[in-house]
Copies of this chain bind each other. A is one copy, B any other.
Amino acid sequence: MKAVVLFSGGLDSTVILAKAIAEGKQCLALAFDYGQRHRVELEAAAKIANHYQIPLRVISITPQVFGNSALVSDEKISQNRSPEEIASEGVPTTYVPARNTLFLAYALGHAEMMGAEEIHFGCNQMDLNAYPDCSPEFISAFQGVMNVATKQAVEGNPPKLVCPLIDMEKTEIVNLGKQLNVPIEMTHSCYDPTPAGTACGVCDACILREKAMNYS
């Protein structure tokens, strides 16, 4: 079975990639260069794809598409919020307008080209409280588009949107990664690293990763 995996080089998407590979799926990893502050994640993505010996395609998206999101601008990124604050304070500055709709649209095109039966997406419990385009309602709605949008769909074989982490907390994701022998040290999470790639330790992504590592 063929699968397109949305892959950032971060922890979550590396775990879903490892899981799909462990299940014997033939994967294409799809990453995006959209001017993100943490562009260094693409170096992690390349190393991990090489580790697993799978093809990686990096799609370029002009950063202007994403306006003033803190992930592609100089806007201040939230710092030192507790996991509880991150979960309860609504859509964060790191939200990127329509980002996952766009990423999944690219994945859908690739699925059709390679005849893939599945698209894998690493959204999880922590994301869905903060990002509209990680919610179960969004996943279901995008599956609705996939069911009708392509020649593949018209011929009766729409790809399936698979979200293996949708019910998992970060700690469970780390545990799953360990079970799967994921090279966690190769993954990159920080939203606001130094040019050399050192994690800031205070952005939401660092806080959540650290907590998960401590409790896993």
Q: Which residues of A contact B (CB under 8 A)?
A: 59-60, 62, 65-68, 91, 95, 97-102, 104-106, 108-110, 112-113, 132-133, 135, 137-138, 141-142, 144-145, 147-151, 153-154
Contacts and interface: CB of A to CB of B under 8 A. Distances in A.
* Copies of this chain in its oligomeric complex: 2
A142 B133 CA distance: 14
A133 B105 contact: no
Contact of A141 (B109, B110, B147, B154): B147
Contact of A109 (B102, B135, B151, B154): B102
B105 A109 contact: no
B148 A145 contact: no
A149 B100 contact: yes
A101 B108 contact: yes
A154 B132 contact: yes
A148 B154 contact: no
A68 B108 CA distance: 15
Contacts of A148: 132, 135, 137-138, 141
Nearest to A143: B141
A93 to B, nearest CB: 11
Contacts of A104: 105
A67 B101 contact: no
22 contacts: A59-B65, A65-B106, A66-B113, A91-B154, A95-B151, A97-B109, A97-B151, A98-B105, A98-B106, A99-B109, A101-B108, A102-B102, A102-B106, A132-B149, A133-B150, A138-B145, A138-B149, A141-B144, A141-B145, A142-B145, A142-B149, A144-B145
